[in-house]
Amino acid sequence: MSIAQPYLLFLGDVTDPIAAKTARGIALWRPDSCVGQLRLTSETVSLGLSDLSLEQAKSKGAQTLVIGTANAGGVIPKVWQETLIKAAKMGYEIASGMHSRLADIPELAKLEDAGQTKLYDVRHYDETLDVGNGKPRQGKRVLTVGTDCSVGKMFSALALEKALKELNVDAQFKATGQTGILIEGSGISIDAVVADFISGAVETISPDFNDHDWDIIEGQGSLFNPSFAGVSLGLLHGAQADALILCHEVGRPHIRHLPHCKLPSISVTIEVNLSAARLTNPSAQIAGICLNTSSLELEEAQTLCADWQEQYGVPVTDPVRFGIGSIARNLKENF
């Protein structure tokens, strides 16, 4: 899918800041694509953007109303539907990362059928895909992998894209999750793809190219998480990555939500990910390690990064605290 920008970010009546993480991610990484925010109440979470009505945002060029929040069950509340329907009648496209589909709202489905709007349910993917074939493809690719899920793979990929561009390296972020798709405006939500077609979906996201330098593919899950390892393996095979960036949260006690599962060591994580990646790219290498060191004091984090850089022989950093320039330079100079 390819979603028209710029966006008006719809925050509904959400009061939990964490529930607005999708909209916050869009505003952080693609601020030029956001004309403002639409809130239904004054108590609704704010992103610090201009509060605009549908009419005001339209006059500023907004093309898509993006539901930038999540809730338990991923259901679109009925109280929001009046705003969504009004937007569709005005010619807005509408994008949602919710589990429930926009097209299941009868009025929106009718408006789409009439050509007045386009609906994007980014958690779902209904188009035809081919199975992966592993044939060599033109262009260089980097994939973020992790010791577990939710360790910073999307953040690291977006930070790396920005850092490479600052080095005059033409890099493109390739989204594989709903938040990444809404940030970039395109991609395929891999967790919505039937297992047989995961590697083929990644080949579709990053086909042959010679018009830029790097594709930076957003990773998902972990080979060591029993819940999501299948998705991670399909990504590794389909990405055909020249370089892997390993992401890890320092101090995490166990695999997320699975206290009976221990986290793997960094060395084992590198070994297993490289082994899987080399099925489709025998030359795959680790290009850097990104850490979430929020559990450490600043000096402890600096020391850990320096120690691991010496131990593993690649740049090691916390992208939030120290930036990701060292990994970007390694990609530019050595890959």
Which residues make up the CATH 3.40.50.720 domain(s) of the chain?
7-121
Q: Is the pLDDT of residue 187 over 90?
A: yes
Q: Is residue 274 within 8 Å of 286, Cβ to Cβ?
A: yes
- Considering only 96-100, 158-162, 268-272, which range has the smallest mean pLDDT? 96-100
Q: How does residue 72 score in pLDDT terms, banded at 50, 70 and 90?
A: low
Q: Is the pLDDT of residue 105 over 90?
A: yes
Task: Specify the CATH class of 7-121 in words.
Answer: alpha beta
Q: Is the pLDDT of residue 125 over 70?
A: yes
Helix (H) or strand (E) holding 238: helix 229-239
What's the whole-number mean pLDDT along residues 121-139? 93
The two three-digit tokens of residue 190, written as one number:
């891999």
Task: Please report the pLDDT score of residue 98 as a whole number.
Answer: 87
Token pair 């099925």 is found at: 279
Which residues make up the CATH 3.40.50.300 domain(s) of the chain?
140-334
* Cβ contacts of 167-172, under 8 Å, gap ≥ 24: 167/325, 167/328, 167/329, 167/332, 169/213, 169/214, 169/328, 169/331, 169/332, 170/212, 170/213, 170/214, 171/212, 171/213, 171/214, 171/215, 171/216, 172/212, 172/214, 172/215, 172/216
Q: How does residue 148 score in pLDDT terms, banded at 50, 70 and 90?
A: very high
What's the whole-number mean pLDDT along residues 31-56? 96
CA atoms within 13 A on the CB side of 16: 8
Residues 6+ apart with CB under 8 A from 82: none
Task: Please report the pLDDT score of residue 73 as a whole number.
Answer: 66
**What phi and psi values does residue 330 have, to the nearest 5 degrees?**
-65, -45
Q: Supply angle C-alpha 61, 67, 70, rounded to 5.
A: 155
> Within a 10 A sphere around the Cβ of 155, how many other Cβ atoms?
20
Q: Supply angle C-alpha 250, 248, 221, rounded to 5.
A: 135
pTM for this predicted structure: 0.92
Q: How does residue 191 score in pLDDT terms, banded at 50, 70 and 90?
A: confident
**What phi and psi values does residue 323 have, to the nearest 5 degrees?**
80, 175
The two three-digit tokens of residue 68, written as one number:
């930038």
Q: Is the pLDDT of residue 213 over 90?
A: yes
Mean pLDDT taken over the chain: 96
Listed residue (280, 259, 137) closest to 209, CA to CA = 137
> Within a 10 A sphere around the Cβ of 171, how many other Cβ atoms?
23
Q: Is the pLDDT of residue 241 over 70?
A: yes
- Superfamily of segment(s) 140-334: P-loop containing nucleotide triphosphate hydrolases (3.40.50.300)
Residues 6+ apart with CB under 8 A from 24: 17, 47, 68
